[in-house]
Amino acid sequence: MSVLIFVELDEGKLKKSSQEAIFYGAKVAEMTGTTATAITVGQADETELATAGRFGATKVLHAGDAKLNEPNGMAYATVVAAAAQQEGSTIVVLAKSSLADAMTARLAGKLKAGLAANVIELPNLSNGFVVKSSIYTGKAFAYNELKAPVKILAIKKNTITPEETDATATVQSFAPALNDSDFVISVKSTEKATGDVLLPEADLVVSAGRGLKGPENWGVVEDLAHALHAATACSKPVSDLDWRPHHEHVGQTGIKVSPNLYIACGISGAIQHLAGVNSSKVIVVINKDADAPFFKSADYGIVGDVFEVLPRLTAAVKAL
């Protein structure tokens, strides 16, 4: 019996969010007196998969069927359910993501499991099985007691800091039975976001709004992002105007991020934007309007023109 952790891959590499999930799952395994097993799907090098051991997994099950190369929530749920049944796992851990959202409810149905999403802390086992979750876009917390024999925990990104060792995991081939019904939804094509740092996985984010006045002025934002090795993002009006690609839109109807640092440049701070960023650990707001609503949610604020502040900030970062 072991804690099972679903691991997502990006071009054959373990995603940062999955490294966090492995570490979390390994800690839960320690608490429950068992081991941590990872399950991953798609093409990957065995040496790369073995690195799951650095974060606490003792074994990796690899479902390498070519039909699973494209992300498919239905098929992936079947694979993870089969792995849980093989390993006798009563706890399944994964990082919350768009793929996880597409498969966790199906997985819960297959395993007749209790499900908690946006989990931000290790479970409390002193009186049952209670987990703390972030709710209302980070404005409140919920404590969920899971009573089902099987429990699924979807971990919120950037809330767990993994500790890395030099250990490696053993890798085993895993070939569960797949039915045609698992592929009634097929992936015809995949368009991936571009950039040096992808927004959903970023620890640092530099974001900008209509205060930049036009797409031709985005260089000052990109310069700071490059200096910080950060991802770039934007407000909804900016993506609606096609100043920036839609995959950079952060907010209630866009991507929700929880980086260690979120720098907002020339963004007023409408509630819809805040809904996507208020889980950030530190928020820095730069705006020439001292009454901009975003300052009420900021940890640090700079009242000034972004075209003057950003180049000076970039220079200071480079000097460090």
- The binding site for FAD consists of 210, 266-273, 287
Instruction: Please tell me what DSSP assigns to residue 226.
Output: H
Work out whether the CA dihedral 35, 36, 38, 39 comes out positive or negative. Answer: positive
CB neighbour list of residue 289: distance below 8 Å, 6 or more residues apart: 268, 303
Crossing angle of helices 73-87/98-111, nearest 10°? 50
**Residue 259 has which token pair?**
């980086």
CA distance 40 to 17: 13
Burial class of 163 by CB neighbour count within 10 A (0 to 12, 13 to 18, 19+): exposed
CB neighbour list of residue 124: distance below 8 Å, 6 or more residues apart: 130, 131, 132
Residues annotated in the binding site, as ranges? 210, 266-273, 287
Q: Under a CB-based contact definition with an 8 Å cutoff, are residues 57 and 173 in contact? A: no
CA distance 206 to 217: 14
Q: Within 13 Å, how many C-alpha atoms sit on residue 31's CB side? A: 14
CB neighbour list of residue 67: distance below 8 Å, 6 or more residues apart: 75, 178, 183
CA distance 139 to 215: 32
Nearest Cα residue to 307 out of 292, 293, 286, 290:
286
CA distance 24 to 197: 24
Phi, psi of 270 (to 5 degrees): -60, 155
